[in-house]
Amino acid sequence: MAKTLDLIDERLSEFIRKQRVFFTASAAAEGRVNVSPKDAASLRILNELRVAYLDQTGSGNETAAHVKANGRLTLMFCALEGAPMILRLYGVAKVLPRRSAEYAELLQSAFGGVEPPGARQMMVLDVDRVQTSCGYGVPLFEYIGERNTLRRWAESKGEAGLQDYRRQKNAVSIDGLPTGLPESAEDERTVENKPRGVESGTRIEA
């Protein structure tokens, strides 16, 4: 039932664009395996073998720690309505820190220069294996709407509150691996200057 393809073709691109949620899977050489759900609206197909998603602040930062450790990352998409299918994108990822020039450039080119409140980094995945499977065991679900809880939480925290939260909650994984985010107020100050215009909910003009 499984089929391996050379790239993300137009049929699979259309399938990805129709999804409401996708899942990430990552692990370091030792320790726990992490699986996380992500808002599919945060994902962009950059080319036939590269995708990226804009990652928002949450209670953990496992994916970044694992990517920093070995780069391995898998994305999974499931058809929750219509014809059944599961799509997995395997590959090697890198983290783009929010204050980096690469982040600002990709934000402009792929996200229209706009980031949601709480944005903390981007994940860029270079895909080396594209695999589909039947998805016959995935139940059908009816989409009702998006939750606005995370957005409201980020807005209520504000930029300073989010930085403090990330220092406390996002600097290391549950296995103690560094995530690459600043671990202290001093680290926060020494990160390269944020590109002008990169603020939550704002647009960067080219």
Domain-located, residue 206: no
115 pLDDT above the threshold of 80: yes
Q: What's the mean pLDDT in 152-163?
A: 97
Domain span at residue 67 reads 3-190
CATH of the domain at 167: 2.30.110.10
Please tell me the distance from the alpha carbon of residue 71 to that of residue 148, in angstroms, as a whole number: 31
**pLDDT classification of 1: cutoffs 50, 70, 90:** confident
65 pLDDT above the threshold of 50: yes
Note the pLDDT of residue 191.
42
Nearby residues of 178 by Cβ (< 8 Å), 6 or more positions away = 65, 68, 171, 172
Q: What's the mean pLDDT in 95-121?
A: 97
Domain-located, residue 201: no
Domain-located, residue 165: yes
pTM of the predicted structure, to 2 decimals: 0.88
Q: What's the mean pLDDT in 88-115?
A: 97
Domain-located, residue 202: no
Note the pLDDT of residue 201.
52
CA–CA distance from 125 to each of 11, 49, 54, 114, 128 (Å)? 19, 8, 12, 20, 9
Domain-located, residue 196: no
Note the pLDDT of residue 193.
38
- Give the total number of structural domains in the chain: 1
Domain-located, residue 84: yes
Neighbours of 70 (CB within 10 A): 13
**Cβ–Cβ < 8 Å for 132, 3:** yes
Domain-located, residue 139: yes
Share of the chain above pLDDT 70, in %: 88
Domain-located, residue 95: yes
